[in-house]
Structure 1
Amino acid sequence: MRDAKSFQVFDLHHHVGSLDIVGGGASGGVTADAEQRIAFMDRYGIAQALLMPSNGYQAPNGIADTRRVNDSVAEYRDRWSDRFPAALATVSPLEGDAALDEIDRCIQVLGMKGIVWHHRFQGCAIDHPRMDALLERVRHHGVPAFIHIIGDSKLESPWKLEVLAERFRDVQFVALDAFSSPDFAHWMPHIARRHPNILFDTGVMVTVSHMIERFVREAGAHRLLLGTDFYSSPKLFSVPFPLLEILASDLTDTDCAEILGGNARRLLGLA
């Protein structure tokens, strides 16, 4: 198997905060969280990662809580910028016009590289009518829209992302968790052919019937991004399966270099 360290691996999918809506971050605070995260990265040869909020945060104060979460992710990025050179912000489609102002603040003041949504946590579907105004603002800033399409949520069904990609053809979308079921894995090459403005990440990639070589043959390595779906808590896995699978695959070294870092750095303006 190839050595990860020879590819300057960039992990596109790291959440800061708990997956559990009633939980917190890793015990011991942000320093302990960073130590745990960096140890995981070092163990598997991951050079850098993109940070994004966990959308399971509590929000009794609405947009004020979202601002707090975005600020904390930006601070995390800045404290360990050599390992986390970029971060994403989030807003809820249900936060009204305040979400538009928060997109402006996150891009212009916090220097975030894009906006991420996890609609099953945010209580609405990917194609909710409110997404139009939010994506108009994303388009204005020229940053990517990162949208989860986890396999067990009808709110995040891939066809709903296709609706947005068709409506906003000049917005760059990233489908997170795109290979999170065998059915999705067979579906993704077809979506890629129909929608050139969607890229696909490997978060929650299943261990069987993930069809990664087929996707590259049919859609190209330039459409694929390594993501592991690391959360502060709880621990979801011990081994970053997508990384090891790509390193052990029949893909060429050139394709691996694109998937394991080149594509993500170009997308985020870090190349």
Structure 2
Amino acid sequence: MSSDVPGVQTRIFMGTSNSASAGPPWSNAIDVHHHIIPDFYVEELRKLGFASTLPGVDKPEWKIETSLSMMDRQGIRAAVVNVWPGVPAVDAATGARFARRVNEFLAELVAAHPGRLGAFAVLPLPHVDAALDELAYSMDVLGLDGVGLVTNYGGVYVGDRSLDAFHAEAARRGTPLFVHPTAPTAEQPTFGLPVSLCEFPFETVRLASQLLYNRTLERHPGLRVILSHGGGGVAYYAARLACGPLIRADLAERLPADPIGSLRRLYGDTAMIGDPHAFASVRSFAAADRILVGSDFPFMPESFSAENCRYVVDHGGFSPDDLARIESGNASHLFPRFASD
């Protein structure tokens, strides 16, 4: 994937940045939305009959050196990396073996770059017993920092009640769960466009509606869930999602007493929200203590990420204390590895 698409960023961000935009957007950031693409992972996915990207999406080149140099240029002190799309929905034994190999690689990568990297473990969902075993190993033995999930595993969405034992354990541990969208299982028209272009925000809204009407956050109050891309379309759709009982009366029994407050407990990152339209919605909905830095590197070019984050900094109207929370304070609270830095 090319690091720049001539003219595209100029059209998206024209007139939105001020003179301060020449420098890096951050000075001490912790990036919680940072992808890595190990060669062995791509090969293992291929052997299982899966691709490392969705149809129509360019596969970016990745090396650890490119991540670290990008972080240096953007003022990112540390990144909690993830391997997307994680472990595909295969049988439990195959998934467990695959997850173990990925997680041990992640632990070695973190150990080789102390202070610069943390990592989200992958799990063999939707197989709950195998996922619980790998959760314990990746947290207690490998010392990883959280769990990276996709919105659905073969059609089983992350908020499904069949995963309640996993929710309960993640809540008990206070393990941060970073949820990135993937393609829905139902066939959707694409108009010749990449599935991620339209479906990713919808996938996140689907998951948020499931979490809301299953009262997942209320039943497991220790859950700490990060929704990528600023929560997808959740900020825009939040009030609409709360209208279920107006459409069908029996949904009142499933809706939390404070549905908007429930959704506001979710964290979001800054990836893909740094424009006047998306950011207005996120800014009005999310408190500063629920916003984290996200670059979406290398699936989004570094130059796009830099301009995206500059917009958040320049036009957010945040106080210095709130900006410090967004840049690193909130992440330090979620990820103790970085709390002492």
Same fold by TM-score greater than 0.5: yes
Larger displacement relative to structure 2 (18-27 or 58-67): 18-27
For 1:260 and 1:52, locate their aligned partners in 2 and report how far apart those are by CA, in whole Å.
19
1:22 counterpart SS class? coil
Q: CA deviation at 1:243?
A: 1.7
For 1:154 and 1:176, locate their aligned partners in 2 and report how far apart those are by CA, in whole Å.
8
Determine the structure 2 residue equivalent to 1:255: 322
2:150 to 118, 128, 135: 118
Query: TM-score with structure 2 length normalisation?
Result: 0.66
Which string of whole-angstrom CA distances, capped at 9 and with x for unpartnered residues, describes residues 103-127 of structure 1? Answer: 1101100111222211346542122
1:72 to 105, 130, 147: 105
- Moved beyond 3 Å, runs of 4+: 2-7, 18-21, 23-27, 56-60, 120-123, 154-157, 187-192, 214-219
Q: CA deviation at 1:165?
A: 1.8
For 1:218 and 1:152, locate their aligned partners in 2 and report how far apart those are by CA, in whole Å.
18
Which string of whole-angstrom CA distances, capped at 9 and with x for unpartnered residues, describes residues 33-84 of structure 1? Answer: 1111112112222221111222255667221001111111111111112311
Structure in which a larger fraction of residues adopt helix: 2
Between Structure 1 and Structure 2, how many residues are aligned?
A: 260
Q: 1:158 to 1:216 in 2, by over 3 A?
A: same
2:161 counterpart SS class? coil
For 2:170 and 2:75, locate their aligned partners in 1 and report how far apart those are by CA, in whole Å.
33
Q: 1:67 to 1:204 in 2, by over 3 A?
A: farther
Extract unaligned runs of 5+ from structure 2: 1-19, 54-58, 182-199, 243-258
Determine the structure 1 residue equivalent to 2:8: none
Determine the structure 2 residue equivalent to 1:105: 137
For 1:23 and 1:215, locate their aligned partners in 2 and report how far apart those are by CA, in whole Å.
30
Determine the structure 2 residue equivalent to 1:11: 31
Q: 1:188 to 1:154 in 2, by over 3 A?
A: closer
Extract unaligned runs of 5+ from structure 1: none
Q: CA deviation at 1:26?
A: 6.9
1:238 to 289, 302, 326: 302
Taking only the aligned residue pairs, the percentage that are identical comes to: 23
Which string of whole-angstrom CA distances, capped at 9 and with x for unpartnered residues, describes residues 226-256 of structure 1? Answer: 111224xxx4323214422222223232222
Q: CA deviation at 1:161?
A: 3.1
Q: 1:14 to 1:136 in 2, by over 3 A?
A: same
Determine the structure 2 residue equivalent to 1:160: 210
1:174 counterpart SS class? strand
Bigger radius of gyration:
2
Query: TM-score with structure 1 length normalisation?
Result: 0.81
For 2:204 and 2:324, locate their aligned partners in 1 and report how far apart those are by CA, in whole Å.
33
1:209 counterpart SS class? helix
Q: Say whether the 8 Å CA contact 1:174–1:201 is kept in structure 2.
A: yes
